[in-house]
Amino acid sequence: GAVVSQHPSRVICKSGTSVKIECRSLDFQATTMFWYRQFPKQSLMLMATSNEGSKATYEQGVEKDKFLINHASLTLSTLTVTSAHPEDSSFYICSASHPRQVREETQYFGPGTRLLVL
């Protein structure tokens, strides 16, 4: 149990275009999902917290107009990278919070999406 999927697994796009990444919790409902970004040889950096039915909360320094997050259902969150540029090339990873108990929420991670902007 606790499987999280992402689609696509990798995407190549031209500079200036927008790219949408989907994150799904397959066997549980997640009121909260998270989006991370990871550059080569670096750790994961939290970008935003996505709550079902409400606006996402962005970490300091992350542009909310560039990284649009929608969490329309308890099993799906999407991240849209708008007007992508080469510096947005990265590994994007989502996670979903499994609500065992309020204090024990364990995050389960998707396999990641590798974005390359040419």
Partner 1 sequence: DAKTTQPPSMDCAEGRAANLPCNHSTISGNEYVYWYRQIHSQGPQYIIHGLKNNETNEMASLIITEDRKSSTLILPHATLRDTAVYYCIVRVGNQFYFGTGTSLTVIP
Q: Which stretch binds partner 1 (CB under 8 A): 2-10, 14-22, 61-69, 70-78?
A: 2-10
Nearer to partner 1, 58 or 81 (CB): 58
**3-state SS, residue 91:** strand
- Residue found by looking up tokens 């397959």 in the block: 26
Nearer to partner 1, 20 or 114 (CB): 114
Q: Assess 93 for contact with partner 1 (CB under 8 A).
A: yes
Q: Token digits for 19?
A: 């790219």
Cα–Cα distance, 37 to 30 (Å, whole number): 20
Q: Assess 106 for contact with partner 1 (CB under 8 A).
A: yes
Nearer to partner 1, 43 or 54 (CB): 43
* Residue 31 exposure: Cα atoms within 13 Å on the Cβ side: 5
